[in-house]
Structure 1
Amino acid sequence: MNLGSLKVSNPYLLAPMAGYTDMPFRKICREFGCALTFSELVSVNALCFDNKKTLQYLKRDGIDKPFCIQLFGSEPELFKEAVQRVEDLCECIDINAGCPAPKVIRAKAGAYLLKDTDNFLKIIDAVVKATKKPVSIKMRMGYDAPNSDDLYRAIEDRGVSFITIHGRLKKEYFKGEVDYNHIAHVKELINIPVVANGGIDSFKKLQRVKAITGCEFFMVGQAAIGKPFIFEDFLSKRDTKRDLEFIKSVMLRHLSYLYNFSGKKAISQFRKFFHAYLKGYPNVKKFNNMINRCSDYYEAVEIIEKVGKPT
């Protein structure tokens, strides 16, 4: 399958998510069949000033290919320099025009670009001219109101390979109904691939989104946290409820990847994943409390192994 000039093995993509889509989590999602991953949001300002923490976002495992680095910022020249620094580390460059976080909006980046479309298009021009790699856009359907048809046409005309549309306005953050009809409209409007994003949390929901939008490609974000096997469900065309022992085996594997990646920091970084993996399973509150107090890798392993067993 082709996303513009980018080849992928299937139509299911993992969304870029700050604080979540690090190398270990992307590796887990790959093992369950995810076809394309994105880095956490990478600041062009931080890249250009050699911020060490930011460089961690660029690391990937050998199976993590194709891999897209997502950049955010507000200055076209910094985007150009950032692209030159990272293009050898990935197969695709993505421009963030969707993040609604207040600190990103204050920096006139992310979804703010949908208000300042002149600058948005200058950024796209700078990125496309700076690299031979495919360029994509991840964007909201609008800031305070839906994006114009002219904006989508202008994006296509600038040589972007594909766009991902989260079917909510900036002001809606991650709540409220996703407007799949807007995504369907854009799919008919332009000739480059459109990736549907927002609220896809099961194979049943995927079928509905596919029917409404007519899209061939789909991006999953929050639904993959604690459920990376959602990609396997999509590929097998069925929704599954995995038993607790299976979940624990995935947790242990994920924790080991994270520990190898981050060392002692892994335990605190894993807590949010721990809670997500066990969400909906009975009698897990005490284990959530235990992991919140834990700071040792081997203790964390023991906590996971005890889940669901008589104490």
Structure 2
Amino acid sequence: MDFWNNTLGGPTKIVAPMVDASELPWRLLSRKYGAELCYTPMLHSAMFVKDAKYRKEALATCEEDKPLIIQFCGNDPKIMLEAALLAEDHCCAIDINLGCPQAIAKRGHYGAYLQDEWDLVSNIVSTLSKSCKVPITCKIRRFESVEKTIEYATLLEKSGCKVLTLHGRTREQKGPLTGLADWLYVKEVKKAVKIPVISNGNIQTMQDITNCMETTNCQGVMTAEGNLYNPYLFESTWPPCWEPALEYLDLVVKYPCPLSYIRGHLFKLFHHLLNLPENAKTRISLGAAKSVEQFFNISKELRDKYIDYHNGVKLWDETNEPGTFNLILPPWLCQSYIRMPPDEHVKLVEEKVKEAQCAEKKRKYLDCEGNMISRKMMKKLRRIQRRPEKEAPSVCKKGLEKCGSCFNPQGGKCNYKLCKKCCKDKCFLENLDCPGHRILVKTRREMAQFYQVERANTNKSVIK
């Protein structure tokens, strides 16, 4: 508790370590609007030890960027210790990532995919704790049972962990299956250990922070996604999205960072605006931007487009949720991103799978009259639909217009809108050419000879 209160200052509003997102400019912006403790992005310990350039970029900080905790991932105690010793002079503590659930952590065998190897985890924490001059902290995810989660937290405390961050979701709760974090696990772990506990998960507004601390009795609350969509969250305000965007870009000019980081932040800040059909081109421009100047121009373009609505000069009609009287925030204000509940997502995926299976079984299509259309003809019709400048023919039977003389489909390039057989007859009788069916003078001569032979054979049979 001395470390928590004296060194860190007893923070309650904490910005999580986020890969490619919690870099120096973003940390400074978050601190300006209420964040009391920040983490670096997750750093790979082996790369940190071997690559001097990677190490220099990762350790970018300044006097205003305090208190700061550096987070490492890895599975080798010796390499992680070497990385921690290189970083300890630049931070207040070293955090061990034991909670990352992403596929990259599974491939690299670190993060939440170490939580079943308790001997290895204990070895890592104790090795760093005994050899580093700064405290060692850990960030974990819960298990399915409260008892196992408490046992795991107790193991980390005994191994030398000085502050524990518990994410109230399991390793499997990620992406569209994220769902809600369970604060009950945080509450029970807080009762079982003596070290400070930080709660992570379900933090989208200032009211969530208050509710979480009252429910769990934890020392602090950590947010990741909530901070990315609204860096003013800790001040309980919802600014127009261009304000934090332009402030962040000003900091980027002073403290440069990779363009991919900038693009990711702007996509989240402008998320609700860019989802509007009218801003489709702007979304493409943001994805293709290759300089800070272009990012500035895009931010100012969106500001100029919606600032009159924000100031009340123009009226924004879409203020109610469709079919209800619930008021909704206009899309230019920073606000949380709300995912579809996991059960609804699973149901939607199952419906799509069934539809795909049915389509695969049928593999046949019907025209407007209920006649079967082959797959080949269906592809041709789809090609026609993708060319709106060309008028699509009315379909029947095989999907083409009827021949003018019979029920067969007409040739696509026929001058007389006939099938090949009828076109040959017409060209022979009327002495015409049809380049579409390649019926020319030479062809007509061959046809004349054919008809002469046919008539001769007919006359012979009649005589007999």
Paired position in structure 1 for 2:141: 140
Aligned with residue 178 of structure 1, among 178, 181, 196: 181
Please report how far the alpha carbon of residue 54 of structure 1 lies from its aligned counterpart in structure 2 after TM superposition. Answer: 4.2
Partners of 2:252 and 2:246 in 1: CA distance: 10
Aligned with residue 273 of structure 1, among 265, 277, 281: 265
Paired position in structure 1 for 2:101: 100
Contact 1:149 1:189 in 2 (8 A): yes
Alpha carbons of structure 1 residues 196 and 310: separation in structure 2 relative to 1, 3 Å: closer
Paired position in structure 2 for 1:213: 216
Contact 1:27 1:61 in 2 (8 A): no
Amino acid at match of 2:56: L
| 1:46-67, Cα deviation, whole Å (9 max, x unpaired) | 1221352243122113211010
The root-mean-square deviation of aligned C-alpha atoms, in Å, is 2.2
Q: Is 1:193 matched with 2:161?
A: no
Contact 1:274 1:288 in 2 (8 A): no
Amino acid at match of 1:166: H
Aligned with residue 247 of structure 2, among 253, 261, 272: 253
Partners of 1:284 and 1:31 in 2: CA distance: 30
Amino acid at match of 2:251: Y
Contact 1:18 1:40 in 2 (8 A): yes
Please report how far the alpha carbon of residue 231 of structure 1 lies from its aligned counterpart in structure 2 after TM superposition. Answer: 1.9
Contact 1:23 1:57 in 2 (8 A): no
**DSSP-derived class of the 2:120 partner:** helix
Q: Is 1:292 matched with 2:293?
A: no
Amino acid at match of 1:45: A
**DSSP-derived class of the 1:65 partner:** coil
| 1:157-200, Cα deviation, whole Å (9 max, x unpaired) | 23322100001111112502211101110011111111000121
Alpha carbons of structure 1 residues 4 and 93: separation in structure 2 relative to 1, 3 Å: farther
Contact 1:79 1:126 in 2 (8 A): no
**DSSP-derived class of the 1:225 partner:** helix
Amino acid at match of 1:190: V
TM-score, length-normalised on structure 1? 0.88
- Spell out the pairing of 1:1-311 with structure 2 (5 A cutoff): 3=4, 6-8=7-9, 10-142=11-143, 147-173=148-174, 175-233=178-236, 240-242=237-239, 244=240, 247-262=241-256, 265-266=258-259, 268-281=260-273, 284-310=279-305
Alpha carbons of structure 1 residues 113 and 181: separation in structure 2 relative to 1, 3 Å: same
Partners of 2:221 and 2:279 in 1: CA distance: 32
**DSSP-derived class of the 2:141 partner:** strand
Alpha carbons of structure 1 residues 276 and 119: separation in structure 2 relative to 1, 3 Å: same
Partners of 1:177 and 1:304 in 2: CA distance: 32
Amino acid at match of 1:60: T
Contact 1:4 1:193 in 2 (8 A): no
Q: Which runs of 5+ in 1 are unaligned?
A: 234-239
Deviates more, 1:176-185 or 1:150-159: 150-159
TM-score, length-normalised on structure 2? 0.60
Contact 1:141 1:168 in 2 (8 A): yes
| 1:245-299, Cα deviation, whole Å (9 max, x unpaired) | xx32321121132244337x43x43222112112334654443232223223333
Deviates more, 1:148-157 or 1:167-176: 148-157
Please report how far the alpha carbon of residue 79 of structure 1 lies from its aligned counterpart in structure 2 after TM superposition. Answer: 1.5
Please report how far the alpha carbon of residue 108 of structure 1 lies from its aligned counterpart in structure 2 after TM superposition. Answer: 2.2
Alpha carbons of structure 1 residues 9 and 122: separation in structure 2 relative to 1, 3 Å: closer
Amino acid at match of 2:166: I
Partners of 1:156 and 1:14 in 2: CA distance: 23
Partners of 1:9 and 1:186 in 2: CA distance: 19
Alpha carbons of structure 1 residues 13 and 116: separation in structure 2 relative to 1, 3 Å: same
Q: Which structure has more strand as a fraction of its residues?
A: 1
**DSSP-derived class of the 1:168 partner:** coil
Partners of 1:307 and 1:54 in 2: CA distance: 36
Deviates more, 1:214-223 or 1:203-212: 203-212
Partners of 1:40 and 1:52 in 2: CA distance: 16
Partners of 1:271 and 1:154 in 2: CA distance: 40
Q: Which runs of 5+ in 2 are unaligned?
A: 307-464
Deviates more, 1:285-294 or 1:93-102: 285-294
Question: Highest relative contact order (Cα 8 Å, sep 6+), 1 or 2?
Answer: 1
| 1:108-129, Cα deviation, whole Å (9 max, x unpaired) | 2111221101100000001101
**DSSP-derived class of the 2:198 partner:** strand
Partners of 1:226 and 1:59 in 2: CA distance: 23
Please report how far the alpha carbon of residue 310 of structure 1 lies from its aligned counterpart in structure 2 after TM superposition. Answer: 4.6
Contact 2:230 2:269 in 1 (8 A): yes
Alpha carbons of structure 1 residues 310 and 203: separation in structure 2 relative to 1, 3 Å: closer
Partners of 2:261 and 2:18 in 1: CA distance: 14
| Identity %, equivalent residues | 24
Alpha carbons of structure 1 residues 103 and 128: separation in structure 2 relative to 1, 3 Å: same
Size of the aligned set, in residue pairs, is 299
Alpha carbons of structure 1 residues 203 and 241: separation in structure 2 relative to 1, 3 Å: same
Partners of 1:68 and 1:176 in 2: CA distance: 28
